[in-house]
Structure 1
Amino acid sequence: MKHLNILLEKYLKPPLVITKGSQQGWTSTVFEVRNTEGSYILKICEEPKYKDWLRKEAKVLEMARDSYRKVVPKLIAFFCDKGKAYLLMSKIPGNSLTQAIKLAENETEKFQLIESFGTFLCQLHEQPISSYELPQDWLDTQLQQAKFYAEKGTCDGSLDLLQELYHNRPKFVPQTMIHGDCTTDNVMVNKGKVISYIDVGFMTIGDPRYDEALSIRKFTDQEKVAFYEGYTRYKITDKEFTFFNDGLYEFF
């Protein structure tokens, strides 16, 4: 911890209290950091693939300082040291939606949380996008990246599955701002409402059906009804859900 303290004191006022995070990610080691000025999250990665993802997350947070600063953590610093990548950001108060649903005292409270999630995601997808911001087709890029990961053996998806995705590719829909990994683990709840996104390394302009599929992937039928009380812009088809959740997501 001594070396970690030295690294962090370049960006945060000492003394620092550093503890292992209560919630650990799949791709990084997470620490909680506190000082007299606030609370922070530190993510550390060693694997090349995940270091690249962490670097992308830092870039998203940097760009979000103007447009989306109210719905994502504040970037404090990104740096590398001795083969590891470090991302330091503000800590969002509250619990993940996954935790909040488990802690809900009754069905009504749970459904209100899920409806809030739908509303929050709908607001993201309806953000205006300037024409100059539009990249090449997001799904093209994702399928190319999926092929790279499959050939390297660094994902759960296979080349056979990838061929199925190419064959069953859904029709194009207008692209929007998306989270890109919009599971219930990656949105934060405070005072009964979803207030922020976390793990935003894949936030970009892309296909909103991907967010929608990942959002509802673990919901019961009743929970999906609650979600769509808030998410009113579109309802994904079963075929689209299968493509994005059971297909594309396997590569990421």
Structure 2
Amino acid sequence: MNKQINDSLDIKITGEILAQSFPKRQGGTSFTTFLQTKKGQFVWKVATELPYREWLKKEAEVMELLNKETELPIPLFMHYKEQPEENSLLMSKLEGVPLREALHDANSIEEKRSLFLSFGTLLKLLHTTRPPGALLTKNIWLEKQLHTAAYNVKHYKVDGNEELLTYLKLNQPKPIPQTLIHGDCTIDNVLVKDGMVYAFIDLAGVAHGDPRYDLALATRSIQSNPLLVEAFYEGYDSTPISIEEFKYFDGGLYEFF
């Protein structure tokens, strides 16, 4: 592994690698390694298959944009490299653990409620942040996603099918103003420190898009717990999306990505 890392990384950026470790849960699209080096701690992500190599490239591009044009709490972009067998992305390592892990370790409903309250607050910050100019578009995000879904169902293994896709095309929710969105805003893709959700990771889906998609994915794990849903939307400072909107985005569109 050290030789592979040395071949893929610019050691001038990281400094000598002292130790490696790995997250408790690896994502399904890339392999993540935590690096302890003489210059600090880094996250190294590697993707070897399509479409995940393109997703990692998009994450690198988006991270650079957000670092330059916003003050959102995300990792710092360090380096991106494409090789014949893989694409790799190096970024700073933020403190904290994924929200899923923090929820598992929480000792009370009050702790969980506080976590989802801060999650809602953080997502509101994202949705009210002006998108970088390169992400702004007059195109309708949902139409683009449905077009991509049609491609994915024919070329990749996805949970959705043609019947579901037809339903989604014929039953699109009423349009609302687009905002900056995360695009994969699950409890695995936000970090917790000192009992608060405070940062975003895994940014390949960031776009100028429909904020209801983020809201559905953010609350998908707590739909059976009204107290936690209430806490989330208290932090977000809004009424919940409708159950029809939730099902359209979580049990519908998300099945193709």
TM over 0.5: yes
Cα RMSD after superposing both structures: 1.7
Secondary structure at 2:198 match in 1: strand
**CA deviation after TM superposition for structure 1 residue 70, in Å:** 4.0
| Structure 1 residue 227 corresponds to structure 2 residue 229 | no
Number of the residue aligned with 1:7:
8
Give the aligned partner of residue 219 of structure 2: 216
1:131, CA displacement in angstroms? 8.7
Please name the residue that 2:36 is paired with. 34
Instruction: Say if 2:85 is the partner of 1:83.
Output: yes
Question: What's the counterpart of residue 202 of structure 1?
Answer: 205
Please say if residues 228 and 235 of structure 1, whose CA atoms lie closer than 8 Å, have aligned partners that are also in contact.
yes
1:25 aligns with 2:30: no
Give, in angstroms, the shift of residue 90 of structure 1. 0.8
Per-residue CA deviations over 1:75-106 (Å, capped at 9, x if unaligned) read 11110224111111111101111111111122
Query: 2:165 matched to 1:162?
Result: yes
CA distance in 1 between counterparts of 2:21 and 2:195 reads 27
**Unmatched segments (≥5 aa) in structure 2:** none
Deviation at 1:216, TM superposition (A): 0.5
Per-residue CA deviations over 1:165-185 (Å, capped at 9, x if unaligned) read 011110100000100000011
Deviation at 1:234, TM superposition (A): 4.2
**Post-superposition offset of 1:23:** 2.8
The alpha carbon displacement at 1:129 in A equals 5.0
Alignment coverage as a number of residue pairs? 252
Specify every segment of 5 or more residues in structure 1 that has no aligned partner in the other structure, as ranges: none
Aligned position for 1:183: 186
CA offset digits 1:146-180 (Å, max 9, x no partner): 00001114321111110000111101000001000
Q: Secondary structure at the match of 1:30?
A: strand
**Paired amino acid for 2:75:** P
Alignment check: 8 A CA contact 1:14 1:35 kept: yes
TM-score between the two structures when normalised by the length of structure 2: 0.93
CA distance in 2 between partners of 1:6 and 1:147 (Å): 37
Question: Is the CA contact (8 Å cut-off) linking 2:72 and 2:126 kept in structure 1?
Answer: no
State the SS of the aligned residue for 1:39: strand
Aligned to 2:249: 244
Within 2, Cα distance between the matches of 1:15 and 1:150? 41
Residue type at the aligned position of 1:179: H
Q: Is the 8 A contact 1:176 1:208 kept in 2?
A: yes
Q: Aligned residue for 1:67?
A: 69
1:218 and 1:238 map into 2 onto residues whose CA distance is 14
Out of 90, 93, 96, the residue aligned to residue 95 of structure 2 is: 93
After superposition, the Cα gap between the structure-2 partners of 1:37 and 1:226, relative to the gap in structure 1 and judged at 3 Å, is same
Moved more, 102-111 or 142-151: 102-111
Partner residue in 2 for 1:116: 118
Q: Is the 8 A contact 2:47 2:87 kept in 1?
A: yes
Task: State the identity as a percent.
Answer: 38
Task: Return the letter of the residue paired with 2:116.
Answer: I
TM-superposed deviation, 1:69:
4.7
